[in-house]
Amino acid sequence: MPEGHTIHRLAQDYAAAFQGTAPQVTSPQGKFTDSAALLTGTELTRTEAHGKHLFLGFSGSGDEWIHIHLGLFGKVNFGPAPPPPPTDTVRLRLANTTAYVDLRGPTTCALITPPEKRAIHDRLGPDPLREDADPDAAYHRVHRSRTTIAALLMDQKVIAGVGNVYRAEVLFRHRIDPYRPGRDITASEWDAIWHDLVELMREGVRNNRIDTVRPEHTPEAMGRPPRVDDHGGEVYVYRRAHLPCHLCGGEIRTADLAARNLFWCPACQRD
DNA sequence: CGACAATGAAAAA
DNA sequence: TTTTCCTTGTCGC
């Protein structure tokens, strides 16, 4: 379930459960065993998120980081001590006297050095959830590009943390045709998109799910039946192909864009 | 029990 | 542009 909000929430949750302790680090699945052995006995001192990348900072003899990227399938599960016997897909388990956490199916779980961590930050664009983010840096790339805005929003070098749900929903909320080239996005449109993402994603961190429907458009307010989709939140277009648009009643469309399923309302999102 | 999809992205070609 | 990797839940037979 990982877009940027999930990763920032995980940074908070890992810190709450393990920061200031030296958890036992294991890799029941085996792919992280050597690094896990090196880390056991060292203290988790801080956690950090940038886009969809999670960093767990350990201080032993020097600074070391576990770099985690969940990819499409990765999942994290927290629980109270004592931990149950791990299943054979657990890539990484942390366990201290009060809690454990299991990581399964990540694209990346690797021990890295501070310079390697810096290199990752350097290839990522600004993250709406980070204080140090510069929205102008993102717009600089957007407004010089002939690529569609829907593809640019998915490009982590342009803006970090947006995924398939936020891209579809933020474009709907701003009535922007997903196929419009980035160069035709105005500065004020980008400003509105960015600040909307900041608010939506902060709420996503708080609630651990994506909700994008304005209060006046909720099923209750509109006299509609509640959503049926099981992805977790209330949305306008994501995974609503061929269903009626909440606002205009027209049919939501879907298409392949940037290797993912795009959803949009051609009537509401017309340039 | 196999096919398939799912909020992702790097490597290979 | 295509292939590859990672896991789990659901659906149809």
What pTM, to 2 d.p., does this model score?
0.96
pLDDT tens per residue, range A54-91:
999 999 888 999 999 999 999 999 999 999 999 999 99
Q: In terms of Cα–Cα distance, which of A142, A220, A211 is closest to A170?
A: A211
Beta bridge partners of A53: A50, A69
At A228 the pLDDT is 65
Q: Are A161 and A217 contained in the same domain?
A: yes
So which residues of A are the catalytic ones?
2-3, 52, 260
Residue A129 falls inside a structural domain = no
Q: Are A84 and A187 contained in the same domain?
A: no
User: A33 lies in which domain range?
Assistant: 4-122
A241: which 2 tokens? 């192909």
Q: Verify if strand C has an atom below 7 Å from the CB of A87.
A: yes
CATH of the domain at A213: 1.10.8.50
Pairing of β A63-69 and β A53-59: antiparallel
Q: Which nucleotides of C are covered by protein (CB under 7 A)?
A: 2-3, 5-8
Question: Last residue of a domain, which of A72, A94, A122?
Answer: A122
Nearest nucleotide by C1' position to the A106 CA atom: C6
Q: Are A78 and A143 contained in the same domain?
A: no
CA separation (Å) from A61 to A38, A58, A66, A96, A270? 10, 10, 15, 20, 58
CATH of the domain at A27: 3.20.190.10
pLDDT tens per residue, range A213-258:
999 998 888 888 777 667 778 999 999 999 999 999 999 999 998 7
At A257 the pLDDT is 87
Question: Last residue of a domain, which of A122, A154, A183?
Answer: A122
Residue A254 falls inside a structural domain = yes
- Contact predicate A120/A150, CB 8 Å: no
Q: How far is the CA of A258 from the C1' of B7 (A)?
A: 14
Q: Are A114 and A153 contained in the same domain?
A: no
Question: Last residue of a domain, which of A89, A122, A155?
Answer: A122
Q: Verify if strand C has an atom below 7 Å from the CB of A240.
A: no
- Contact predicate A258/A151, CB 8 Å: yes
Q: Which nucleotides of B are covered by protein (CB under 7 A)?
A: 6-10
Residue A210 falls inside a structural domain = yes
Residue A166 falls inside a structural domain = yes
